[in-house]
Structure 1
């Protein structure tokens, strides 16, 4: 088979469509005098006055019955002997953008002093023709083309055009149409010679100058004779109306026939139509793990039919078929993008600097600035933000909204918007955290946010360090070696041991995560940041010692993890496991009884130098966590709980948010006596947390015959106090109950029962075990806020003044935290891609759940009434009491 060489239309991405208007052939007979008397508009028409009158030609690209370009026309030209233009027209569209149905509509216009009613111009269609640019094989037409001209009609360009360039096959049985067989042999000969001429022009036939001149002269004579013969045959076959006209503008049918010669560009190879292929958007393919508690009904079985192979393999045979949706993954509407680009191209900085909003526009802007970080900004609001950007630059709240209204992928907009960032009023830290989120990937924006974070001290920065590490995932692709956020974290951590300690362990946990939910590129990213951190440390005066310290911390945790596994899987009852633990800790080979001072990874401000083997314990739990008492250089004990086999990153996140909320409340002079104990995940399956001497509410109530008040009275007796409890202890209990009720409600902490509600001898109440957050709960009909009967009884009952004070503290704390809603929401937004169980279940909805519990859209008075109602419902929830009773029964039978 002979090789076929071709190119695709997409290869011609820079070449505009061209067509050469050559000449018009045909014979025009004069209009009878009787017709001119009836039609005064025909008397001064140019073609009726002269057979070589001035005509002009327009060409336009159409596709699917719609115009793709504006029409272009030939220049004015005066004809003498023949209507020959010999002019190339350039159409404003490239071959790569042509669809397969593209046609070129060519119209020859006749000049007339009378205005045409249809076109409102002083031009009448002399004739029109429509030429498809691709043939039936989707190959681009090229070379000379001879087009049939339809008299008195403008080329329409429709899919079923009425002005085709070649005469369509005639239907049999119609007497008023000339059948093709009636065209004499001269017409057929003319067509054969034209085909040979086209082949010669394409180089398929050799040229001979003296012989070709004779042939061309003969061809001209044959063409004229053929035109006359075809026109005569056409005149005999056209049905004449009773008034002597044929319906074409009142001109009588006199057998006129015209052909327009055009020429299309020639190419060395055939040009085959190829559509532009765009990269497909991401197709959602969410797969739940086998141990997930979320059970969805099975998808319907789908049969692909006999003989049809499954493109996704035999494993997915009979399952759902993926549907490609081209709109998935589009952040913006293309029409809105075009409108915004057009509108902003006409606006200049000189005019916008002095533009100020009127009263109505100012109210709209204030309502816009009050929106939360998760609320969408409409297209009209984006236009207003851009229009009044100079006016809004004095308001720090407006910066994040302004950044959202800019198309940072548009270089022109980015160049205009980037200088505005430096002129804006200095933003708060919560806004800087929002600019580090996943929707802001432009390096200029992220660098600006980092510059704002540089002004925060180490203590404040440590509060957000967990989220800043996760924000590294949102750095633009290819920016890993030049990430402003990574450079900032590495530099600050290298100069602060406390920051460096936590950055090191946060990175090590992500590096050790080899689960399917951790992308390999993210693991490589964290490894690169850890490597850069170690290099930066070596450049500091104490860097070498610091690296040795981190290495010793890792060795200590490795030994403890090994001991924990030996104790857990060693067999025997709990006393045997405790004995095995004490023996392993006292073993000189483990070097744990005494060692050189080392900063505790959990709390680097504490220096430890050994462990007390005899004062360690193994807790009653499925994972058998170890209670270890470390020696400190201050001759004190620091107890921790070390656990292997559990991912503590979710608990770590909750404690970090509780610590932050505690700081926010204290800034408003509201100390609710919270107990944000320290916790640190050292790997994806191990970690440690601070042991706080305390007792569960279940144990306290059991010990004191069902009364939590009796427990408080026993540990803090005061006969002069109203309830026999020392005032400071009762205040601590009431405030801590209020604080944790509000915080656990906002975070949606679930699986609350009397065994994970703890109370210390000082009266401090706190929660532990945050295995379920963001509204998830393994028990049905669980209350939104955990306020059980025992907690209220410890205050003196629902009728006491302490309970009234408790409700007041609750509302004050909730109202205070609502004011910092942007900061809290931005922190959770940065954790969307973290490998945390209750976040990865619904990554996009996790932040929304926190937002819903803050009731941001409600007024302060309405929120106060609803929140008081929530407290009363939680206190009187009988289902919660039944759940606690069932849990106690289950724990009893487990023993």
Structure 2
């Protein structure tokens, strides 16, 4: 047997359609005597002509309510038979209709005098209600025959008074109840199955049956006409006034309308996604889990509530009332109870000496290990509040305590601030969490700033990008004459540190300038005003310092230097010249003394790296790259006598690349604190506006270029050419191979955690000394323009350089990966808090799903696993990527595309 196939209605993304075919049947004409007595009847079209003009309306109903507006057929004039043959498309799709959907089909007659059920000059000729799904929940299809109820509009109700298939007694009324009629009905059902393809076709036999059935139909019609003629003679003898409906005929009508529904290749079965209701049970904390709940009370329902009074054994319909807010909101009784309990110990006299027992202490330890994204339950908040004095010695408990406080309660919040003063010193990651958007209390944010004051400038630089973003969560007034330091402890702290350190001041100034330049709707005018006010106050405070005027002048010179580079970069990007002409044009521009780049006096600290002071440009080292934005490589002479090459790019927002490089720099710092130096040495990036920026140019070669130059084991051949050593492993210096293995491990783990996408051989780079690194971070957090992209980029060229997957150096590479992953998991809270502060920073891949950005990074850490399980998971990712075919295919396709563009 062939497998049975079907489709579900929720997958049918097409509008509901019906084709109105024709109207069958007739009725006896109204006697002339009746027309004389009721002259209004003679104006109805169907009383004047048995083939009068009618139009049809169709409306979708469900649950005794209309789902759409009625759709009607176009005007059509009939001569011998009422035929429309017109498709009507209803404004609703099959995927959106419920199971009890039906079509309310009404035929409308016309009369200038109106009548019962009239809508203007239209009066109902008749109606029928046709369900779209049958008893087996399958969608009806093909031709359908529906009974017409004269002078009634289709009601569309669930229990309809105008069903398309009437009761047998109603359907047979006015028809001959003989074997001929039954045979005709049986043949009609078989013809419908034949039309739907459910019966095998035999052309010669089908034609024979059709002719035979046609003759039988004519004979049945003649018999029916004789019977109806006899009925009319009997009706003529009756009083015409016996009917209650003045517009009805003296005899029963027998009208049927034929419609056609769309045909599908497979049966369409009703299906709809049903969201499971949330649990109505409130979770219990560990301290309450040992409570033995009482069995539910037995309730004796009164008569008529849930059973039929006529039958004691027949249970009637139960009505379940579901309240969706039961689980989404706190139980009012429990909330009141918690307020009473906290009020009882508001002064903390009984709580100061309160100590948890072993079981409660274990539960508190579990709470302390929650990640920053975890939401505390009401019971967990009560537990932390109860033992708040005991927890003041635990630095990890502070953020959990702040989350457990009801800051809307003045008395409780005042006591919480007093407890904060007794808390032990916390770590930087917890201080950063307290500066996030979810913590609004000024005392809490000031407490976090006090912890940051203990950090030195080098540590502060690691978080400065996020601290600038945290300024938008401060309550800063932009009124003239009102200093921001009066409103924000964070702003006061950053300004005070920046005016005393040129490096901090340099980066703070450019971070603020980028925020002021962001004119997108996501940033908002209010935020731009806040950052403008902070920048103004920073400059005002800077000039008060002994060398502040000179520092301010240096920052202005940096801005002029950026403006000069932006002008030539913009002109080169918009010109239609060849790369050679563009390069010559840039060289001529840089060599022109009018642009003040040949000689820079006094030396100018580079905005990208203030520790580097430049004294002039080297025009002959200029390169214009062949890409859509045409970035320019410019080399500058430094005070140390060396050249410092940079890349300047306009037309691209570098803030996402800047964030990734900052996180890589932070992770490198964290790994070195664990005595794990993976030789990462990330290059520097600085966004100078929302559409321009600088990046450090590291002399290196892409893996694509290396593969084009060296056919056999390209990475190893490239390193042997630059760092040969006949006594070293594989013919190159051992230090070079060690740098390569460590940097590969570091970048593989970091790019996996950050979900860096669009990895191909053109953005994997290798320096001559063995340093491996990534470039172009346009896709992060799991986004990738290519399908089936690997979770970690580990190319064949990288493994071959280590000696293959069975070599000792490859095993050493995996060990470095495991050590790096384990060390970064220990600092996951810090990394998650940094990302949470960047949620509103208008970073492209974060603003796509800001509520999921931090969770995506958290998922890569797999904090729910033990350290051993997490390492095994990482090993599976490495092995799967090594043996995968898709990355190889993607690299080949990318190579072909780049060759075609060239």
User: TM (normalized to structure 2)?
Assistant: 0.62
Q: CA deviation at 1:326?
A: 12
Offset, 1:341 = 2.0
C-alpha deviation, 1:714, in angstroms: 1.4
Structure 1 CA distance, aligned partners of 2:681 and 2:330?
Answer: 45
**What is the CA–CA distance in structure 2 between the aligned matches of 1:536 and 1:331, rounded to whole Å?**
48
Match of 1:787, SS?
A: coil
Query: What's 1:801 paired with?
Result: 808
TM-superposed CA distance for 1:619, in Å, is: 0.9
Deviation at 1:336, TM superposition (A): 5.5
1:577 paired to 2:582:
yes
1:770 shift after superposition? 0.1
Say whether the 8 Å CA contact 1:716–1:726 is kept in structure 2.
yes
| Partner residue in 1 for 2:504 | 499
Q: Aligned residue for 2:226?
A: none
Q: Structure 1 residue 681 and structure 2 residue 687: aligned?
A: yes
Partner of 1:826: 833
Among 542, 567, 570, the alignment partner of 1:565 is 570
Aligned partners of 2:408, 2:748: CA distance in 1, in Å? 45
Query: How far 1:338 moved relative to its partner?
Result: 3.5
Residues 764, 433 of structure 1: alpha-carbon distance in 2 compared, 3 angstrom cutoff: same
Q: Which residue does 2:848 correspond to in 1?
A: 841
Q: Deviations over 1:542-601 (max 9, x none)?
A: 111111001000000001000111122222100000000001111121111002111000
Contact 2:476 2:487 in 1 (8 A): no
SS in 2 for 1:857: coil
| 1:483 lines up with 2:488 in the alignment | yes
Equivalent pair of 2:475/2:487 in contact (CA under 8 Å)? no
8 Å contact kept, 1:745–1:785: yes
Residue of structure 2 equivalent to 1:735 = 742
Residue matched to 2:663: 657
**Offset of residue 609 of structure 1:** 1.2
Q: In the TM superposition, what is the alpha-carbon distance from 1:794 to its structure 2 partner?
A: 1.0
Of 321, 341, 349, the residue aligned with 1:343 is 341
Give 3-state SS (helix, strand or coil) of 1:423's partner.
coil
Q: In structure 1, the residue corresponding to 2:355 is in which secondary structure?
A: coil
- Counterpart in the other structure of 2:194: none
Structure 1 segments unaligned to the other structure (5+ residues) = 1-324
The answer (yes or no) to whether the contact 2:763–2:775 under 8 Å persists in 1 is yes
For normalisation by structure 1, the TM-score amounts to 0.63
Does residue 700 of structure 1 match 2:706?
yes
Q: Kindly tell me: are residues 522 and 749 of structure 1, through their superposed partners in 2, closer, same or farther at Cα, counting changes over 3 Å?
A: same
Check conservation: 2:723, 2:732, Cα contact below 8 A. Answer: yes
Q: Is the 8 A contact 2:476 2:530 kept in 1?
A: no
Q: CA deviation at 1:876?
A: 1.1
User: Are residue 453 (structure 1) and residue 452 (structure 2) matched?
Assistant: yes
Note if contact 1:701-1:711 (Cα within 8 Å) is conserved in structure 2: no
CA contact (8 A) 1:774 1:850 kept: yes
Q: Report if aligned partners of 1:697, 1:755 keep a CA contact under 8 Å in 2.
A: yes
After superposition, give the CA deviation of every residue in 1:346-381 in whole Å (9 maximum; x if it has no partner): 114111011111111111001111111111111111
* Aligned counterparts of 2:549 and 2:426: Cα–Cα separation in 1: 37
The whole-number CA distance in structure 2 between the counterparts of 1:369 and 1:662 is 27
Aligned residue pair count: 570
Equivalent residue number for residue 871 of structure 1:
878
Q: Distance in 2 between matches of 1:525 and 1:749?
A: 32
1:526 aligns with 2:531: yes
Partner of 1:279: none
CA distance in 2, matches of 1:770, 1:526: 27
CA distance in 1, matches of 2:477, 2:654: 31
Give the equivalent residue in structure 1 for 2:823. Answer: 816
* Aligned counterpart for 1:617 among listed residues 607, 614, 623: 623
Instruction: Name the counterpart of 1:409.
Output: 408
2:520 paired with 1:515:
yes
For residues 115-264 of structure 1, the aligned pairs below 5 Å read none
After TM superposition, give the deviation of residue 334 of structure 1 in Å: 6.3
Q: In the alignment, what sits opposite 2:888?
A: 881
Query: 2: distance between equivalents of 1:710 and 1:577?
Result: 34
Contact 2:686–2:695 (8 Å) recurs in 1: yes
5 Å-filtered alignment, 1:373-452, equals: 373-452=372-451
Match of 1:757 among 764, 768, 782: 764
Matches within 5 A, 1:616-655: 616-655=622-661
Give the C-alpha shift of residue 505 in structure 1.
0.1
Match of 2:798 in 1: 791
Measured after TM superposition, the shift of residue 621 of structure 1 is: 1.2
Local SS of the residue matching 1:352: coil
1:675 positional shift? 2.5
Q: In structure 2, what is the equivalent of residue 201 of structure 1?
A: none
Residue pair 1:709, 1:796 contacting (<8 A) in 2 also: no
Cα displacement (A) at 1:874: 1.1
Give me the whole-angstrom Cα distance separating, in 1, the residues matched to 2:725 and 2:741: 17
Alpha carbons of 1:518 and 1:733: their partners in 2 closer, same or farther (altered >3 Å)?
Answer: same
In structure 2, the CA distance between the partners of 1:335 and 1:610, relative to structure 1 (3 Å rule), is farther
Q: 1:766 deviation in Å?
A: 0.2
Indicate the residue corresponding to 1:605 in structure 2: 611
Q: 1:613 to 1:722 in 2, by over 3 A?
A: closer
Aligned residue for 2:751, secondary structure, equals helix
1:4-153 maps to which residues of 2 (within 5 A)?
A: none
Rounded to whole Å, the distance in 2 between the matches of 1:675 and 1:425 is 35
Equivalent residue for 1:726? 733
Distance 1:843 1:333 in 2: 30
Distance 1:332 1:453 in 2: 36
Q: Which residue in 1 is equivalent to 2:154?
A: none
Contact 1:672 1:732 in 2 (8 A): yes
On the 8 A contact 1:442/1:476 being kept in 2, the answer is: no
Deviation, 1:339, is: 3.5
State whether residues 336 and 379 of structure 1, in contact with CA within 8 Å, keep that contact through their aligned partners in structure 2.
no
Contact 1:747–1:773, Cα closer than 8 Å, also in 2: yes
Output the CA distance in 2 between the equivalents of 1:648 and 1:854. 26
- Cα distance in 2, alignment partners of residues 539 and 726 from structure 1: 54
Using the TM superposition, give the Cα deviation of residue 872 of structure 1 relative to its aligned residue in structure 2, in angstroms: 0.3
Query: Taking structure 1 as reference, are residues 478 and 381 closer, same or farther at Cα in structure 2, changes over 3 Å only?
Result: farther
**CA offset digits 1:840-881 (Å, max 9, x no partner):** 001110000000000111111111211111110111111111
User: Tell me, what secondary structure is at the counterpart of 2:793?
Assistant: coil
* 2-structure distance, mates of 1:427, 1:339: 32
Shift of the alpha carbon at 1:477? Answer: 6.7
Task: Please state how far the C-alpha of 1:693 moved relative to its aligned partner.
Answer: 0.2
- Contact 2:476-2:488 at 8 Å conserved across structures: no
SS in 2 for 1:641: strand
Q: After TM superposition, give the deviation of residue 332 of structure 1 in Å.
A: 7.1
Deviations 1:176-233 (A, max 9, x none): xxxxxxxxxxxxxxxxxxxxxxxxxxxxxxxxxxxxxxxxxxxxxxxxxxxxxxxxxx
Shift in Å, 1:335:
6.0
Residue of structure 2 equivalent to 1:535: 540
Instruction: Find the aligned partners of 1:609 and 1:369 in 2 and give their Cα distance.
Output: 53
Distance (Å, rounded) in 1 between the aligned partners of 2:540 and 2:455: 24
Change (3 A) 1:684 1:588: same
1:882 to partner: Cα distance? 0.6
